[in-house]
Amino acid sequence: MPEPVDPQEYARMRAIATELWPLADHLEGFWGVEIGAAGPFVMMSPAGRHESIVYRVVRQLEDQIPRTHPDTDVIAQSGAEIEDPSIGRMRRPDAVVVPLRVLDESEGTVDAGAILAVVEVVSKNNPDNDYIDKVADYPAMGIPHYLLVDPRKGLVFTYEAILPGPDGPRYDRVRDYVFGDTVPFGPWRIDTSAFRRYGS
């Protein structure tokens, strides 16, 4: 569980992250800036099968949201940077479910408290970021649903039901699935039959 962060310390980390954004924009490939337990860092977003899975999840969510959230402006999209200064975290999930008005009102990062769900697809090189760090960060940010897809192993995990714990908020319900399953994720269903594993 992330510890509360002194506002001045977070302001210092946020200033560093702001300085890193232009650097990330000029690197080859698609890079983003996050603030984790060790502070700000620049991280490359994988392409290929990683992005094809993100695309498929977003499309499926977008198809279902009009039924699960009628009369709202909720959307699924990739690329939003979400932030919770109280715990000193800024993350860039592979995809989020969020009200469109929240994006309209944002000049940069999005308040993590407005996020309904996050999706992460594990990269080949840094799985601990998704399996350990974000499993702690997302419930601490108050995000009720976390979908974790691992193309290295052909596995999918859902994390839901935030409970208070001695070390802070945590997900109480974790379910695991394999590629090919239709995965219940919050009020949605994600068909993973077209997901492909990474090559060796």
Q: What is the CATH number of the domain that holds 94?
A: 3.90.1570.10
Q: Which domain holds residue 138?
A: 46-191
Does residue 133 have a pLDDT over 70? yes
Query: Is 187 contained in some domain?
Result: yes
Over residues 144-161, the mean pLDDT reads: 97
What is the domain count for the chain? 1
Does residue 25 have a pLDDT over 70? no
Query: Is 40 contained in some domain?
Result: no
Query: Is 7 contained in some domain?
Result: no
Query: Is 165 contained in some domain?
Result: yes
Tokens describing residue 49: 């099968």
Given a contact cutoff of 8 angstroms between Cβ atoms, the answer to whether 80 and 93 are in contact is yes
Query: Is 12 contained in some domain?
Result: no
Query: Is 34 contained in some domain?
Result: no
Predicted confidence at residue 167, as pLDDT, reads 81
Predicted confidence at residue 70, as pLDDT, reads 93
Query: Is 16 contained in some domain?
Result: no
Digit-coded pLDDT (tens) for 38-79? 665 556 555 588 899 999 999 999 999 999 999 899 999 997
* pTM, entire model: 0.81
Greater pLDDT, 82 or 167:
82
Listed in sequence order, the residues at least 6 apart from 16 whose beta carbon sits closer than 8 Å to its beta carbon are: 39, 40
